[in-house]
A = this chain, B = another copy of it.
Amino acid sequence: MKLQTHKAHFSNPLYLESGRILEPYDLVYETYGELNDEKSNAILVTHALSGSHHAAGRYEGDRKPGWWDGLIGDGKAIDTQRFFVICVNVIGSCYGSTGPMSKMYPSEKRYRLRFPVITVKDMVKAQRILLDRLGIDRLHAIVGGSMGGMQALRFAVEYPSLARHTIALAATHATRPWAIAFNKVVQEAIVKDPKFKNGEYDPKDFAQEGFVGLAVGRMAGHISYLSPESMDRKFDRAYVETDGLFELFGKFQVERYLEYNGYGFSKWFDPLSYLYITKAINIFDISRGYDSLSEALRRIRTDLHLIAFKRDLLFMPEEMKEIETVMKAQGQGHLVRYYEVDSDYGHDAFLVELDKFSHYVAEVLDR
């Protein structure tokens, strides 16, 4: 598989849903495989909250491959021998695309809290402009999970003729207060941490010890990515030190897991990006800009596959199912298919339990 990283610079303004503009801006992205001469074999993969454009493969020295490496590669469900796969870091993120820690051209100052609120619609628009520059006006498919699934849905509504197939996994048509509440914990923890300094922190300060606000909040996030059942299987009631039961700070395995992942994450993910991206997730509502959910969905022309996971406790199966129900009720039954994966892993199943749905993805892309 040929893995390449690219950076595209755009000097034209990006008109945002909020009415503000971003100008100029950069997008970094990865590509795998080769674009054919007809430019008809491109697949866009969209990433989740803490994801990046590095969806598959390894760079020299990498301990871990990209986040969907089990799905994307030569001979895999998203077969890079047949398809040219693109994954773009969303605006607002912290992996090279323009985000809150970018400099406010022409100034040398970073945006920080002056960065405009961005939405999933804005993320999608920027990617559409990039595809344009690459001369790609038709995609074989768009595939993404969680916030990546929100992007896939937004693409389907805003650019109806762009993709032949759209696969949205573990997403929703509008973020419910339940998910907003989890994001609130991390936003509050970040903003109220004295080291956040109203956004004027030095990122180097977090590289060694991490950043408590983001770490604590991320722990709450991890709860929503798992499920009671997967936690039972992973940790049960095991204790880190057997004699620590009556020590106030003695730890269960699950507590160590949360610490390890929370603090680890806070060493490399930017807190401002976390604020902006969770905001984009919170205000995601596919019907915004239309009179109703029905009206928004009526625009869809792509073949839409909704893959939900039974014990996803962040974006629940019924939220995806509703999209199918509405589309069927208005005569779009031929376009939509709902597929529920029998998994009790929780929301992260879309990253972890690939063997339960990769055959489905492969089958769709084969058409």
Contacts and interface: CB of A to CB of B under 8 A. Distances in A.
A188 B252 contact: no
Interface string A203-243: 00000000010011101101100111001101111000000
Contacts of A279: 248
A178 B283 CA distance: 27
A181 B258 CA distance: 8
Task: Decide if the interface of chain A is mainly helix, strand, loop or mixed.
Answer: helix
A298 interface: no
Q: How large is the interface on A (under 10, 10 to 19, 20 to 34, 35 or more residues)?
A: 35 or more
A276 B246 CA distance: 11
A178 B233 CA distance: 11
A216 B231 contact: no
A345 interface: no
Given A18-B246, A228-B176, A228-B316, A184 B275 contact: no
B177 A237 contact: yes
A18 B19 CA distance: 61
Interface of A: 17-20, 113, 116-117, 174-178, 180-182, 184-185, 188-189, 191-192, 194, 212, 215-217, 219-220, 222-223, 226-228, 231-232, 234-237, 245-249, 252-255, 258-259, 262, 275-276, 279, 282-283, 285, 313, 316
13 contacts: A117-B247, A117-B248, A177-B231, A177-B236, A177-B253, A178-B231, A181-B255, A182-B223, A184-B254, A184-B255, A185-B216, A185-B258, A220-B223
